Amino acid sequence: MLLCCVDYLKRNSKMKNNEQHIMPFIERLLDGAEVEWKPLGEISTQISGMSGVSNKWASSGNCRFIDYLNAYKHIKIDIHQLPFATVKKLNQTELRQGDILFTSASETPDECAISSVIEDKISSGIFLDDHLFGIRINEKYKGIIDSSFLNYYFHSLDFRKTVNKAVRGVTRFYISKVAFMRLSIPIPPLSVQRKLVEILDKFTELEAELEAELDCRKRQYEYYRNKLLAFEDRTVIWKSLEEVINPTVNIKWSKTKQSYQYIDLTSVNIDTRTIFATKEITAETAPSRAQKIVLTNDVIFATTRPTQMRIAIVTDDYDNQVASTGYCVLRADDKQVLFKWIYFLLSTNKFRTFLEDNQSGTAYPAISDSKLKEFQIPIPPLSEQQRIVSILDKFDTLTSSISEGLPKEIELRRKQYEYYREQLLSFRH
């Protein structure tokens, strides 16, 4: 099925040669009909996340809930794959088919108000995580507005530019719900909305096929990685991270006039685990969190929302540059450990469990550098570390590299989808 989808896209790559036909196609769909613009507060009602949660991530509970990462990573929610929670009071807003969900806060403004939609019918007992909020189309507009259309529009560049007006914060960013509900959205005829959804669904379905294949490969990789790094049946020395790293230093802004590339929490891609976007700063423009000097081969791990697993290895491009205090910087003592040995161990299920057990805070979970460095890792001989790292490098390339394999194919399809989405959802106001 996957190969068929890929072949289909390749055979139809000629679509790119017909880009000039997209706008006339939209005009034909509209057929002279006007596009109305309405504020979100008029067409919908806001939904709050649940309160009084006593237990999350349980094997059972008195309800199921849509958590932050589920909404953030998926444009459509699969209600059959939801975790349980125990809630003190169930007299809260239960979710319904057609509800649109949004991330309410994040470490970066670009990750605020990322949307997903519930297309499946819901009987009862599904709630919204307290780190999310939602909107529900009012009865008056249910025969006028398609929720799936709105969800696609919320991902468009036009809306993403607009939504920044509702974002507040300095080191942590959040959506002003009042400002958000004042934002206006386009309402073309319902038939046009549904046709646009049909077109965009085809792109997302094809991308989903590739992502499903990649997910299978990642699960296979994770299984072997965890097995190779377990050392449960072997005699090996165990040490804390603190014992196998070298000290790092903070920059003294008062003693330099040099400019630096700044690695903040937006600079590391969670999926590819690479540093991809930095900004130039000086002593005059540096934010307060721009403090940590990093060197080539340092492993940096985000200690805010740590279970997102935002991790990367510093490459030569960012040698002697500055990272946010939101990262723990781990500089391997190469007489004991390889830097990639640390990197791969911080990717294991065992480390994730350690984070879940030791993070603090509910609305804004975090783990301190000192606590993170207490994590115990196995220390086999360097030759054994190198052997295992070489194996894991090959797996990592297959599942994470954006320059080859499935990740590259997915990236190409995503760019194609984003191009057509912007063409199809660019309404004049």
pLDDT in tens, 221-271: 788 888 888 887 667 899 999 999 999 999 999 999 999 999 998 899 888
Half-sphere exposure of 347 (CA within 13 A, CB side): 30
- What's residue 5's pLDDT? 39
Distance CA 133, CA 49 (A): 5
| Whole-number average pLDDT of the chain | 86
* CATH of 2-209+409-424 given 3.90.220.20, 3.20.20.150, 3.20.80.10, 3.40.1390.10: 3.90.220.20
pLDDT in tens, 352-397: 999 999 998 876 789 999 999 999 999 999 999 999 999 888 888 7
Query: Same topology for domains 2-209+409-424 and 237-379, yes or no?
Result: yes
User: For residue 121, which phi and psi values (nearest 5 degrees)?
Assistant: -70, 140
Domain 237-379 in CATH 3.80.30.20? The answer is no
- What's residue 406's pLDDT? 67
- What's residue 16's pLDDT? 43
Distance CA 122, CA 137 (A): 16
387: which 2 tokens? 């052997």
Sequence spans of domains, the chain: 2-209+409-424, 237-379
Query: Cα dihedral sign for 242, 248, 253, 258?
Result: negative
H or E stretch at 273: none
Identify which has the larger pLDDT, 363 or 139.
139
β-bridge mates for residue 280, sequence order: 261
**What average pLDDT does the segment 265-281 reach?**
89
pLDDT in tens, 79-124: 888 888 777 777 778 899 999 999 998 878 888 999 999 999 988 7
State if pTM tops 0.85.
no
Identify which has the larger pLDDT, 86 or 42.
42
Q: Is the pLDDT of residue 328 over 90?
A: yes
Distance CA 130, CA 160 (A): 23
